[in-house]
Every structure is written in structure tokens, then in C-alpha cells.
């Protein structure tokens, strides 16, 4: 069975988020890739007797969604930090869509930052729903509870404590969110949006 391969990311020095934190965070990402592969291998092994192994297969299937989504969520997150901070152009299709949906980019950003401060571990995500031609924002619990079916992840902000506690302490969650947006390469997010439009 074909294995997933961890991606590499070229992340420059960031405001507020240390190189050490990124290094440790990337190790966690690599763990999701490794575990997704491991679960697939186990599913393959247990599939020789579907009746006798039904319970184990069911639980492995649940675990796979956690590991797989952890892998993909982090790929969106780390990609948006590559290449240095770049603003979202006023002429970009994504900014036009945000303004169309929310009235202004600033109004959307305020709401999204508030979403990111949801209590608990998870992700604040901006999605594109191609069927409805609209942007949606939602919270994902952990890595996999709350994904919006049929939507494309445009932007993912990791709000697990491992993404910020080393640099900000638990009380610095809000500062981490501000620094994430100070570091974001909006051209990557715009590319995600353009890909979702296809």
C-alpha cells in the first residue's frame, strides 16, 4: 500500500513563534504522517478476516481520520508560514470574496480571531464551499471532529497548546493568534482558494 510522505517546509524567522517551537511542531506533524501510515498497515493486516476483526477495524478506521486529518491540517498551517509575511492583495479573488461575504476584510478577521480563541484544543478553519460558492469558518475539535464535508480548507490555524505554549504560555493564546496573522503568507492562502475554485 502506498505510504504518505511528510512534506518539507521552508519557514523563515517568525514574529513571536520561535524556530525551536516550529522545529518541535514539525516533529508532531511527522508523527501524524507516521501514524497514518501505521494505521493503514494495520487495517491491511486485519482485513484478512473482516468478521473476526470487525471491532478492531472499526476503531482503527476512527483513529485513521484523526491521524490523517492531523497530517493534512498541519500541511495547510505550515504552508501558510512559508516564504515570509505577504499581505492579501485588494485585487485577489479571495479578498473580494471575503468582502462580499463579510462586508470588509477587517470584520472577517475580527470574527475569525474570536473563533480561534474558542476554549479547548482544535483548529480555527476558513473553508470554501464550492457547491454554495461561499466561505465558511468553523472550529474543529482535536483534528477531525467538525470537518465540513465537501469544503476545501483555505486557511487553518492550529490552536492546540503545543503550537503556542512554549513561546507564549497558556495566557498568551491571544498574542499567538495576533502573531500568526502577522506572519502569514496570504499568497499561499490565495493559492489554496484558487485551487478550490477549480
For residues 46 and 53, the answer to whether their CB atoms sit within 8 Å is: yes
pLDDT at 114: 98
Q: Do residues 71 and 97 share a domain?
A: no
Last residue of a domain, one of 45, 79, 113: 79
Assess if residue 1 is contained within a domain. Answer: no
Domains: count for the chain: 2
Work out the mean pLDDT of the chain and round it to a whole number.
Answer: 96
Residue 190 belongs to domain with CATH number: 3.55.40.20
3-state SS class at 180: helix
Domain coverage including residue 172: 93-197
Is 11 contained in some domain?
no
Q: Nearest 5°: phi and psi at 52?
A: -65, -30
Exposed/middle/buried for residue 77 (C-beta within 10 Å: 0-12, 13-18, 19+): buried
Q: Are residues 75 and 101 in the same domain?
A: no
- Whether 175 is in a domain gets the answer yes
Residues 105 and 179 in one domain: yes
CA gap 195, 178 in Å, rounded: 26
Same domain, 64 and 142: no
Round to whole Å and give the CA distance between 49 and 179: 51
* pLDDT value, residue 119: 93
pLDDT at 1 exceeding the cut of 80 = no
Same domain, 73 and 106: no
Cα 194 from Cα 115, distance rounded (Å):
24
CA contacts within 13 A on the Cβ side of 67: 19
Per the domain annotation, does 65 fall within a domain?
Answer: yes
Residue 118 shares a structural domain with residue 191: yes
Does one domain contain both 192 and 97?
yes
Mark whether 106 and 74 lie in a shared domain: no
102 and 191 part of one domain: yes
- Residue-wise pLDDT tens digits, 54-76: 989 999 999 999 999 999 999 99
> Is residue 139 predicted with pLDDT exceeding 80?
yes
pLDDT-derived band of residue 49, with 50, 70 and 90 as boundaries?
Answer: confident
Residue at 8 is within a domain: no
Residue 4 lies in a domain: no
Give domain status of residue 13, yes or no: no
Whether 100 has a pLDDT exceeding 80, the answer reads yes
Residues 43 and 124 in one domain: no
Residue 107 inside a domain? The answer is yes
- Are 138 and 123 in contact, with CB atoms under 8 Å apart? no
Amino acid at each position: 500500500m502506498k505510504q504518505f510522505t511528510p512534506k518539507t517546509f521552508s519557514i523563515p524567522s517568525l514574529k513571536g513563534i520561535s524556530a525551536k517551537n516550529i522545529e518541535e511542531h514539525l516533529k508532531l506533524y511527522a508523527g501524524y504522517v507516521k501514524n497514518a501510515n501505521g494505521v493503514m498497515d494495520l487495517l491491511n493486516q486485519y482485513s484478512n478476516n473482516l468478521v473476526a476483526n470487525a471491532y478492531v477495524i472499526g476503531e482503527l478506521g476512527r483513529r485513521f481520520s484523526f491521524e490523517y486529518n492531523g497530517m493534512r491540517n498541519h500541511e495547510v498551517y505550515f504552508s501558510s508560514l512559508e516564504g515570509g509575511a505577504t499581505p492579501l492583495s485588494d485585487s485577489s479573488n479571495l479578498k473580494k470574496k471575503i468582502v462580499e461575504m463579510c462586508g470588509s476584510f477587517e470584520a472577517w478577521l475580527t470574527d475569525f480571531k474570536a473563533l480561534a480563541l474558542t476554549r479547548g484544543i482544535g483548529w480555527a478553519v476558513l473553508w470554501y464551499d464550492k457547491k454554495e460558492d461561499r466561505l465558511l469558518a468553523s472550529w474543529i475539535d482535536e483534528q477531525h471532529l467538525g470537518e465540513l464535508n465537501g469544503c476545501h480548507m483555505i486557511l487553518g490555524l492550529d490552536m492546540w497548546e503545543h503550537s503556542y505554549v512554549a513561546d507564549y504560555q497558556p495566557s498568551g493564546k491571544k498574542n499567538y493568534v495576533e502573531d500568526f496573522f502577522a506572519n502569514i503568507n496570504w499568497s499561499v492562502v490565495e493559492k489554496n482558494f484558487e485551487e478550490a475554485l477549480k
